[in-house]
Chain A
Amino acid sequence: MWDWLTHSRAELLVAGGLGGLIRWITLRESLANGLLSIASGAIFASYLAPFARPALAWLFTWLDLPDGMTPSDGSEFGLAGFIMGIAGLSVSGFVLDVLKARRQRLRDGK
C-alpha cells in the first residue's frame, strides 16, 4: 500500500485528491459533491501537474538549499499535483457555479 502511495502517479492522484478535499471543506458541499471534487482534483493533478513541475523544480534549484533539505528528484511532483488540482478545480468550479446559478435563475423565472 505504501509502495503504491509513493509511486509518482499515485502521488499525483493523492495530491490532487487532497486539493479536492480542500475545496470540499472550504465550500462545505454535500458528500456527493465532495467526492466529486476529490475525484476531479485527482484527474486535474494527473494531467496538469507536468506543467507546474518545471516551475517548482526551478524554485527549489533557485533556493539552493543545504544538503539534506534539498527535495529529492521528483518529490516536487506531489506539490505540483496539489497546486494544479486546486487550480483546475477552482477554474472548473467557477464555470460550473456560474452555470448552476444561471440555471437556478431560469428555473425560478427571474
Chain B
Amino acid sequence: MTARCDAAWAARRALRTLGWGAAVAGAVLAVPLLVGLGRWVETGWLFPTTVAVEEVRLEAGAIRFRPVFDKWRDCELVGFAGFLDVALGLDQDRLRLYRALASAPPNTRPPGRFAGEGSIDWRIEVPAPLAEVATGWGLQLTYRCHPLWTLSAAFRWPLPRLPPGG
C-alpha cells in the first residue's frame, strides 16, 4: 500500500512538470498552430475546389492537358493512370488482361504541384494486339488539395482506332 502511495505521489509530481511543460510548448506552438488551423479550414471546408480540364491536345502520341481549378489552390497530383476502352464482344478475361496492359507508366513525370493551372504531358504505350481493339483512351487523375480530401477526375477521348505503339 505504501509503495503505491509513493508511486502516486511521484506520479503527481511528474505530471505537474509535464503539464507545465506542455503548456509552455503549446504556447510556443500556438501561433503556427492557429495559422495552420485557419488555413486548413479555409482551404478545406469553406471553399471546396473542383477540377476540370480545358484544352486537351494529342501531340504525337502524348496527351497534353491543362487542369483548371475553380479557385486558386495548391493541388498536388498524387496519382494517375491510363486506361483504354476496348471493343465489346471480348470475353472478360481478355478484357481484364487488356485493361491491365493499358495502365502503362507515363514517360514524363509531371510537376508535383499545381497553383491555379498547369499542364502535363502523358504518353500511353499501347501493345499492338490491344491497339487493334481499342476504341478510346483516357486518364484517371487524382489530386490532393487538402489533408482531408482529394479530387479525382477521369477524361476520355473517343478515338476510332489507336495506331500500334500509341
Contact = CB atoms under 8 A, between A and B. Distances in A.
Interface of A: 19, 22-23, 25-27, 60, 62-66, 69, 71, 79, 82-83, 86-87, 89-91, 93-95, 97-98, 101-102, 105, 110
Interface residues of B, number: 26
Contacts of B20: 22, 25-26
B28 A105 contact: no
B17 A93 contact: yes
Contacts of A62: 36, 147
Contact of B3 (A64, A94, A102): A102
A28 to B, nearest CB: 10
A102 B10 CA distance: 11
Contacts of B18: 86-87, 90
Interface string B1-26: 01100110111011111101100110
Contacts of A94: 10-11, 13-14
Interface of B: 2-3, 6-7, 9-11, 13-18, 20-21, 24-25, 28-29, 31-33, 35-36, 39, 147
A94 B7 CA distance: 8
B32 A71 contact: yes
B2 A105 contact: yes
B7 A98 contact: yes
B10 A89 contact: no
Contact of B17 (A60, A90, A101, A102): A90
